[in-house]
Amino acid sequence: MFGAGGGTNSYEEVEHTDLIVLWGSNARETHPIFFHHVLKGIHNGAKLYVIDPRRTASAQWADGWLGVNVGSDIALANAIAREILVDGLENRTFIDRATLNFEEYRKSVERYTLDYAQEITGVPAAAIRELAHAYARADRAMICWTLGITEHHNAVDSVVGIINLALLTGKVGRYGCGVNPLRGQNNVQGGGDMGAIPDRLAGFQSTADAAAREKFEKAWNCTISPERGKRLNEMFDAMEEGELTALYCIGENPVVSEADRHRAVRLLEGLEHMVVQDISLTQTARLASVVLPAAAGWVESDGTVTNSERRVQRVRKVIEPPGNARDDMWIVAQIAKRLGRDWGSPTAQDVWDEVRSLSPMHAGMSYERLEQLNGLRWPCPDENDPGALFLHGRLWADPVEGPKAPFHAVEYSAPLDAVDAQFPLLLTTGRRLDSYNSGVATGEYSSPLRRVEALEISPEEAARHGLSEGEIVAVSSRRGKVFVPVHIDRALREGLAFMTFHFDVPTNVLTLDTVDPKSGTAEFKATAIRIDKIGAGSLAAAGD
């Protein structure tokens, strides 16, 4: 944000801030390490607000829980902004000096009254007002979000709506103040940092930037296209159109993780050639023409990962990978060799030093320093730089250094998969503490906490459908149907259901694959569904 692809704060700051807002994040279960830092903050006196349709384990820790309707976050953010402005709690100095487009933004939130927001979000006006005041008045405050914000058709707008609040109150660019997307894997941040984004090179350098391109072309002795590549959703569209016929899939399990599973499987099956490189024979690998067994990214490989606080950390190889499994780097180099490019056999450190030579924000991070300092946070431009604690301090310089931060007016729009008489419930998806995404990395381990996947519904919903705990039901959406047992949980309310996609239940048969055009992420969080009781006899038929 504001030109940098990472959270603005360090974990340390969460421990010393005054107010933490977890927005669309059940960090207690999905980011347990980060939540340890949140807990330290709480024990140091910080107040916690959690915004989530469900009253999650994180929400149970919170001083205030705002149980928004799924996908109504923009309305909530704008109402908070309006309330801050109505009571004159905005930071005028910061707005005047460091931001752009304020007036336009101010007008855009005008219609988001507390009453209107209550109607859209379901959250009582008093609770919205309380959070608006708590956030605006806090000396230090941080907002952190996860997929509850980004798995929507208007994901980018939702994020912008949150960032607007930080700009409005001057809660960015200071110690303990900022806006932070929490990364769901140990190296989501690192993947982006290394350029695994369709229009970026390592260090977020744009492929549209001729100078950057030239630097990489020189180092790699090749030509780089200035055009943006395809996002995942665009690749599937290209498969549909017959434009994309071969796929090399590394460490991804789209059969399970893509929205609208039936469509995803059909398109993958229609490919002329698919190579899957993974640590186990995933559901996707079973459709592949060639499977390349890979070493695990931890214990079996050397390298680095980058976490949510932008800290680059070393990972070390401890054991040899089993059987024919090979290090990802070795496999890629071998493929390059067969394609006519001899990269030799670089070590992880060789690759890292190349990153440092090409990505200025990583330049100061030698292996020695990463080792000594337990990692470093980017940007770290030279070997004397301690790495950045928080980003955008420049916005507080007088005059502001670099470009000002613009407000962007954003408007609420309802989830696309609307509920109606036929599909009256909204299903939202997420993860559980001891399981991980499509289960490739966790499904093989037993866990005392794990229970069979279930459709979680409220006691009221269970009563309305006459369902009891554990009863298997048919869950249908406009795209498909799955059979799943019911789990009754007070954390949900009428009209709301929850499921994960960790295990056997092909949850994404139900979800809609329409994406946010700005991010390419599907609206996993909002699927209109219907629950049907099934007789004992139809269960066998359901087993296909």
How near is the Cβ of 507 to other proteins at its closest, in Å? 23
Three-state SS at 311? strand
How near is the Cβ of 45 to other proteins at its closest, in Å? 8
CA-to-CA dists, residue 197 to 8, 351, 480, 535, angstroms: 20, 18, 31, 48
How near is the Cβ of 67 to other proteins at its closest, in Å? 4
Q: Are 72 and 120 in contact (CB under 8 A)?
A: yes
Minimum CB distance to other proteins smaller for 100 or for 414: 414
Minimum CB distance to other proteins smaller for 131 or for 358: 131
Secondary structure letter of residue 177 according to DSSP = B
Three-state SS at 94? helix
Minimum CB distance to other proteins smaller for 143 or for 512: 143
Minimum CB distance to other proteins smaller for 355 or for 526: 526
How near is the Cβ of 149 to other proteins at its closest, in Å? 18
How near is the Cβ of 262 to other proteins at its closest, in Å? 33
Q: Are 477 and 471 in contact (CB under 8 A)?
A: no
- DSSP secondary structure, 400-437, as one string: PSSSPEEP--------SS---SSS-EEEEEE--TT--T
How near is the Cβ of 247 to other proteins at its closest, in Å? 40
CA distance 152 to 163: 17
CA-based nearest residue to 526, from 24, 26, 160: 24
CA-based nearest residue to 109, from 145, 127, 140, 83: 83
Minimum CB distance to other proteins smaller for 61 or for 378: 61
Minimum CB distance to other proteins smaller for 121 or for 180: 121
The dihedral built from the CA positions of residue 427, 431, 432 and 433, taken in this order, carries a sign that is negative
Minimum CB distance to other proteins smaller for 48 or for 162: 48
Phi, psi angles (nearest 5°) of residue 130: -60, -45
How near is the Cβ of 63 to other proteins at its closest, in Å? 3
How near is the Cβ of 486 to other proteins at its closest, in Å? 16
Minimum CB distance to other proteins smaller for 68 or for 296: 68
How near is the Cβ of 21 to other proteins at its closest, in Å? 13
Q: Are 104 and 17 in contact (CB under 8 A)?
A: no
Instruction: Report strand pairing: 405-406 vs 472-476.
Output: unpaired
Residues 6+ apart with CB under 8 A from 490: 55, 458, 459
- DSSP secondary structure, 527-541, as one string: EEEEEEE--HHHHHH
Q: How many residues does the structure list for the chain? A: 544
How near is the Cβ of 523 to other proteins at its closest, in Å? 21
Minimum CB distance to other proteins smaller for 202 or for 497: 497
Minimum CB distance to other proteins smaller for 263 or for 432: 432
Minimum CB distance to other proteins smaller for 122 or for 254: 122
CA distance 509 to 241: 22
Minimum CB distance to other proteins smaller for 123 or for 132: 123
How near is the Cβ of 88 to other proteins at its closest, in Å? 25
Three-state SS at 443? coil
CA distance 206 to 435: 35
Q: Give the Cα-Cα-Cα angle 129, 408, 512 (nearest 5 degrees).
A: 85
How near is the Cβ of 334 to other proteins at its closest, in Å? 46
Residues contributing to the site for other proteins (CB under 8 A): 28, 42, 45, 47-48, 55, 57, 59-68, 121-124, 127, 458, 460, 490, 493-494
By CB neighbour count within 10 A (0-12 exposed, 13-18 middle, 19+ buried), where does 523 fall?
Answer: buried
CA distance 197 to 206: 10
SS (H, E, C) 320-363: CCCCCCECHHHHHHHHHHHCCCCCCCCCHHHHHHHHHHHCHHHC
